[in-house]
Structure 1
Amino acid sequence: MSCALRPSACPGLLRIVQALDGGICRIKLDGGSISSSQAEAVAQAAESFASGAIEATNRANLQVRGIAGEQLELIDSLMAAGLGPRTAGGDDVRNVMLSPGAGIDRQMLFDTRSLAHRILSTLQSHRPFHDLSAKFAVQLDGGEALAMLEHPHDLWLSAFEQDGERRLAFGLAGCPPDMPSGSVALDDGHSLVVAVLELFLELARPEQTRMRHLLNECPVEDFMARLAERVPMQAVVDWQRGTGASALHIGAHPQIEADFVYVGAVPPLGRLDPVMLRGVAQLAREFGDGHLRFTPWQSLLLPNVRVADSAEVIRQLQWLGLICESGPPLSRMIACTGSTGCGKGLADTKGDALQLAALLQRHRHSLNVHLSGCSRSCAAAHIAPVTLLAVSPGQYDLYFREAGQPGFGALHARNLTIEAVSVLLDARLRSPLDA
């Protein structure tokens, strides 16, 4: 690949970014999907050329951490496994997020995978799109029950029915529960994405890297008027897209095909090791269709498992160290790398998360908690119900999500130890006001 890589703070497959614990390589997965043989290649690369730490990200990708001197060898091994972009310039822009249940979810209105493949192909082959930011992202929602709908995207598309026709609602700088800007026919979905991206690149100044930056200066109405000249659109009436059901990413759940389920499992705090990833890959080969799907909840699915095999799959996943039930606190907890791997981290968030999970387990509580080592919130693209923001080693400010509050939500208390956080959360959950 002869194309020169542009500077960026975001890791990619071809660009290793340094952290406190070594280099980071981010592997962007098409629709979150990876074959068993590719997963085994990631495990081998992490074991041979890095520390062995593998992370599931909140955009349904994978990261290998702790890379030292053998960067080219690691990249070559992943490219040979078919995990790289078609062109060097196309690596950064492979940012199309689907439901982990695309094509198998019983509630879906259409299978988004074919359209996603066309969009990803165009993003990589159309040279002007390589100028997009490495963070510029598109979400394609087929109406699935299992869907992450809280992560804001620069452009989102969501299937719905209007007057007996299935169409794609779409919006800018937001997520599907928002009121759409308009809608297009399913067959015009690809054309819409191309038109939006081309118009963005025409209007945005170099420093306006995200759609929200452009819309701060260019009113949505003006953007939409220009867009209507390029793609046939309609207004959306009575928009009702829900917020998704995140618990569906854990355990066995029926697919659209009779007698088949997908099985969801959570690696504790989103981190796998090579043994764990190899084991899951083997289970997908033996009991599924030979593919894994990673999710925006930093978890994974084994699709197309026969109902009769689901209990055995869950048993073996648990033996590997993954969580297959929504009850344990660790199944609902996310934490960034923290001070053990990131120079910006003010606390050992992963270690503190394990301590908090043990305390909450003792109280028999399970709630969605996000521990962030700094204000950048790398581990969560959405606002969690409870956020702990590190201020020093072992000390956190506590926030609760609250409608209308920016950032992490409403500040509840400052400079808390993990033990103090546990006591406050226990008291809040026991309060009759929260019953």
Structure 2
Amino acid sequence: MVGMLAAMPPPAPRFAQPDDARFRVRGDACPGALRLHRADDGALARVRVPGGVLTADQADGLRELAVRLGDGELHLTSRGNVQLRGLGAECGGELASGMHGMGLLPSERHERVRNVVASPLSGLDGRGEREVRPWLSALDALVCASGEATGLSGRFLFALDDGRGDVDALGADVTLRARGDGDAELRIGALESVVRIPADEAPRAALLAAEVFLAAAGSGFGSDSGFGSGSGSGSGAWRVADLPGGGGPLFDAVVRRLRAAGLPVARESVPVPGGAPPALGVVAGPGDTDALSVGLPLGRVDAVRWRTLTDLAREHGAGELRLTPWRGVVVPGVRRERAPGALEALEAVGLVTGPRSPWSGVSACIGRPGCAKSLADVRSDAASAFPAGPPAGALPVHWSGCERRCGHPRGEWVDVVAGPDGGYRLSVVRDGGRSGAPVRVAGAPDALTDAVAAARVPRT
């Protein structure tokens, strides 16, 4: 792979280094692959991976870049993308050239319009109402062909749900969900109102909804925008939840835009599902192949473990990896007779293969020394403060080095936040609020272990 990357002619993509003046203008500061972010552990790049789908060759190429240019690890995000950390300040051109050669930079202007999650097990386990891969391909092509879509921020999120409700539960800005009657539902933010549309028109409808959002964010739903009365001054919103009026006025505007485009639409009320990530372990498929679902401890993986995954995908699977928004990896297409042994091999290198793993349900921000805002080395503290395995049904737990809580899960979870005194504050998040008063715990491992274990016990 090193030789293959080196032999490719550089396409001369435009890129910005962390000290570039473009970093100092106001607006979307989210890093990408062409605009790096300076962290305390070096520069950081976020790689656009729509739907979390990587070929084995692309995955190998990212590993090679991480080893050669960064800290040697790959870090998964809660959007199913990849971060490379510890990059040298002058590596931008080489990094961009390598990713372009692997097909991971289909459009320079859209590389930060990257957040498209999809049901990771779609088409693999016999569940779901339709395979969403055609939606993924169509939406990605439409986004990359849209000049308006370049205005979407690096935080804007599309979700493509095959009907099982897993990624519909993530609160994306625009969600498509397959229905059993052959149609699709379009949801805006976390509203319970949806628009029923023909499934074949779903990707176009999703892009239209995103373009309506951009008009709303730029106009503030002003009188000149077609969104009703308002100041027209512009909200500068990056996500639907940031709009001053919330998602309701945007939903109405999207319905009007879809009808004006000639799409048959019907408004319905459909609650947001609870959702759940893929179960860890062997996922039985309808044919003679299975999928393997594994987690990465704290969402990061070194070159040895990553190569174990890519070699398995290439030699015994379908030649691809599916990255999940729960910082896991699905390897599809493994022959059924090989699946148990392959899972054991993944467990042997330290990947999370079942709910009884100590790392199951545990996540954390990058913490010290990578983040200057962090008050603690949360990853080391998390590693020191868990028992041999969580109880059945244990709540997820997320460790944060500061009040920003970067990368925290959705739904019900245990919130562990570092404090300025060297201790932590624990609370349980339920239904968007906190249950009871936070508990302050000193940084001693035994005290943290007991407190976190007690907080993770689910309600009866």
Change (3 A) 1:295 1:394: farther
- The CA deviation at 1:298 is 0.5
Q: Is the 8 A contact 1:348 1:394 kept in 2?
A: no
Specify the SS of the correspondent of 2:332: strand
- The CA deviation at 1:366 is 4.9
Which residue number in structure 2 is paired with residue 166 of structure 1? 182
Q: How does 1:307-386 map to 2 (within 5 A)?
A: 307-357=336-386, 359=387, 361=389, 366-386=394-414
Which residue number in structure 2 is paired with residue 424 of structure 1? 451
CA distance in 1, matches of 2:118, 2:130: 12
Q: Is the 8 A contact 1:168 1:183 kept in 2?
A: yes
- The CA deviation at 1:413 is 1.1
Given candidates 440, 446, 455, the residue that maps to 1:414 is 440
1:132 and 2:152 are equivalent in the alignment: yes
Q: Is the 8 A contact 1:261 1:305 kept in 2?
A: yes
Which residue number in structure 1 is paired with residue 199 of structure 2? 186
CA distance in 2, matches of 1:409, 1:9: 33
Which residue number in structure 1 is paired with residue 334 of structure 2? 305
CA distance in 2, matches of 1:172, 1:429: 31
CA distance in 1, matches of 2:203, 2:296: 34
CA distance in 1, matches of 2:183, 2:127: 15
Q: Is the 8 A contact 2:63 2:73 kept in 1?
A: no
1:67 and 2:87 are equivalent in the alignment: yes
Amino acid corresponding to residue 235 of structure 1 in structure 2: R
- The CA deviation at 1:103 is 2.4
1:263 and 2:289 are equivalent in the alignment: no
Which residue number in structure 1 is paired with residue 62 of structure 2? 42
CA distance in 2, matches of 1:40, 1:280: 10
Specify the SS of the correspondent of 2:86: strand
Change (3 A) 1:57 1:170: same
1:24 and 2:53 are equivalent in the alignment: no
Change (3 A) 1:104 1:144: farther
Change (3 A) 1:107 1:67: same
Q: 1:278-321: CA deviations, max 9, x gaps?
A: 12111111110111111111111111111100111112112222
CA distance in 2, matches of 1:133, 1:434: 38
Amino acid corresponding to residue 167 of structure 1 in structure 2: D
CA distance in 2, matches of 1:140, 1:426: 34
Specify the SS of the correspondent of 1:272: strand
1:200 and 2:200 are equivalent in the alignment: no
1:283 and 2:299 are equivalent in the alignment: no
Structure 1 gap ranges (5+): none
User: Number of residue pairs matched?
Assistant: 419
CA distance in 2, matches of 1:232, 1:434: 44
Which residue number in structure 1 is paired with residue 282 of structure 2? 252
Q: Is the 8 A contact 2:66 2:84 kept in 1?
A: yes
Identity %: 27
Specify the SS of the correspondent of 2:338: helix
- The CA deviation at 1:57 is 1.2
Query: Larger deviation: 201-210 or 58-67?
Result: 201-210
CA distance in 2, matches of 1:241, 1:151: 9
Which residue number in structure 2 is paired with residue 389 of structure 1? 417
Structure 2 gap ranges (5+): 1-11, 17-21, 219-233
Q: Is the 8 A contact 1:152 1:173 kept in 2?
A: yes
Which residue number in structure 2 is paired with residue 234 of structure 1? 266
Q: 1:208-234: CA deviations, max 9, x gaps?
A: 222223362673564245334333211
Q: Is the 8 A contact 1:45 1:74 kept in 2?
A: yes
- If the length of structure 2 is used for normalisation, what is the TM-score? 0.84
Change (3 A) 1:402 1:365: closer
Which residue number in structure 2 is paired with residue 95 of structure 1? 115
Specify the SS of the correspondent of 1:304: strand
Q: Is the 8 A contact 2:317 2:331 kept in 1?
A: yes
Change (3 A) 1:138 1:215: farther
- If the length of structure 1 is used for normalisation, what is the TM-score? 0.88
- The CA deviation at 1:332 is 1.2
Q: Is the 8 A contact 1:353 1:371 kept in 2?
A: yes
Which residue number in structure 2 is paired with residue 119 of structure 1? 139
Specify the SS of the correspondent of 1:194: helix
